[in-house]
Amino acid sequence: MAKFSAVYFVALLVAVSGAAHEEHSRTKRQAYTFPDGFLLGAATASYQVEGAWDEDGKTSSIWDTQTHDKNYLIADHTTGDIACDSYHKYDVDVQMLRDLGVDFYRFSFSWPRILPDGHGNRINQAGIDYYNKLIDLLVANNIQPVATMYHWDLPQNLQDLGGWPNYVLVDYFEDYARVLFRNFGDRVKYWITFNEPLTFTGGYEGAYAHAPAINAPGYGRYLATHTLIKAHARAYHIYDDEFRADQQGKVSITLNVDACFNYQNTTEYQDACERQQQFEMGLFANPIYSAEGDWPAIVRERVDANSKAEGLAESRLPVFTPDEIEYIRGTYDFFGHNHYTSNYAIPYDGTNDPASDQKDHGYYLTKDPNWPGSASSWLKVVPTGLRYQLNSIATRYNNPPILITENGFSDYGDLNDTGRINYYTSYLTEMLRAINEDGVNVIGYTAWSLMDNFEWNQGYSEKFGLYQVDFEDPTRPRIMKESARVFQQIIATRQIPEAYRT
């Protein structure tokens, strides 16, 4: 009997151990598995891939002007005149997306391709036809179109009126949005009004910035932001009032925000990080996503105080009226989030400096030298930063549905792009931890980018693509990189491959 009991006990231990191991394995699999209904896609933007800069009725954008007239601002002195030639090769792009197996494709409309004069009195049918062909082919291949209305290529005609600091652009953007909803809303169900306003409003802060490179520090960003937030709200309400009932889509904005870590683990440095969050995310998000609306209190206080100290009669930060605050607040269906990297915020006393947004926010950003790098000086690999930033959004704005609309890694175009593979798998792992462990409501993820393309002021010197593009070949052939094969596997299995689990 004692012998039988010992054997039984050993068998019981083995069974319990096996069950525990199976439970551990199941839990581990779940930790690396995407939730049901989670969306996976890839992205591009019109100026970066389309080319055909002056074909079929399209007029110049501010990026045509930047690359043609200020090519000293472009690292390799190139242009987007041809880029990836997606205007003529959109069918090849869709086949690439189909090969990847994506759920959606995020692209952007070119405003001057659709409305050559910038406003709605003249619609370019060739532009409408091009996007109809692209969208129809996506839908035919069960790829959901996710469309950005404005990804930085403002018609030069409207910049000649002053660009985004001119409030008349609210009306012009309304015309543009209505044309898009009317022509494409039967098939496009995810709309993004503006991509990365933090970046493109910087084009009004310095002569060496992104287009239009206007040197108006301390004023330009705030004026442009005031306009675009009202334009965003106008487009949202147009959709609500005129199109939502029939089209049943979603409208929001995409904001780019880096995570910020407390460099010295002190209150002073934590306060600098909080200012980074409020001036880089809250400036755009607070009016739309917060319960109270309006600018963040700390932004209002600091810009007002600096303006007064500078002897100005009015603050450099414009004012939203009570009616505007109410009109803007809540104009979202999800939170579009672009995320690439993280920073430390170093407290900065700019008391005696001229007016600037850096003086207002009181910090400058730096990187940890131990963080792995990329081909971009600003892009260090910090996967935990994505989880941190997703939690920051969830905490500040009542855990809205978050669609990660860009995330990616730059190199010099190698096909065996192990750096990009490690970047995607590590960042996706941290995203899944934010979902599974922290309860953050992330609904989708977008790889930037589908293919190597024109990277703004860096030209073609940095590459973000899942597919390599040969820009020396007039036919612009695309070749699948190793990262595309891994992303393809992730989409097919809805899991992080075991080889990349940490």
Q: Tell me, what amino acid is at 130? A: Y
Count other Cβ atoms within 10 Å, centred on residue 100.
25
Q: Give φ, ψ of 363 to 5 degrees.
A: -155, 160
Q: Of 471, 472, 452, whose CA–CA distance to 463 is shortest?
A: 452
- The secondary structure element, H or E, covering residue 255 is strand 250-256
Q: Note whether 117 and 157 are within 8 A (CB).
A: yes
| Token reading at 302 | 């600091």
- The secondary structure element, H or E, covering residue 49 is helix 46-49
Cα(41)–Cα(101) distance, rounded to whole angstroms? 9
Q: What is the 3-state secondary structure (H, E, C) of 427-465?
A: HHHHHHHHHHCCCCCEEEEEEECCECCCCHHHCCCCECC
Q: What is the 3-state secondary structure (H, E, C) of 169-232?
A: HHHHHHHHHHHHHHHHCCCCCEEEEEECHHHHHHHHCCCCCCCCCCCCCCCHHHHHHHHHHHHH
Residue 101, helix vs strand vs coil: coil
- The secondary structure element, H or E, covering residue 406 is strand 402-406
Q: Which residues are catalytic?
A: 406
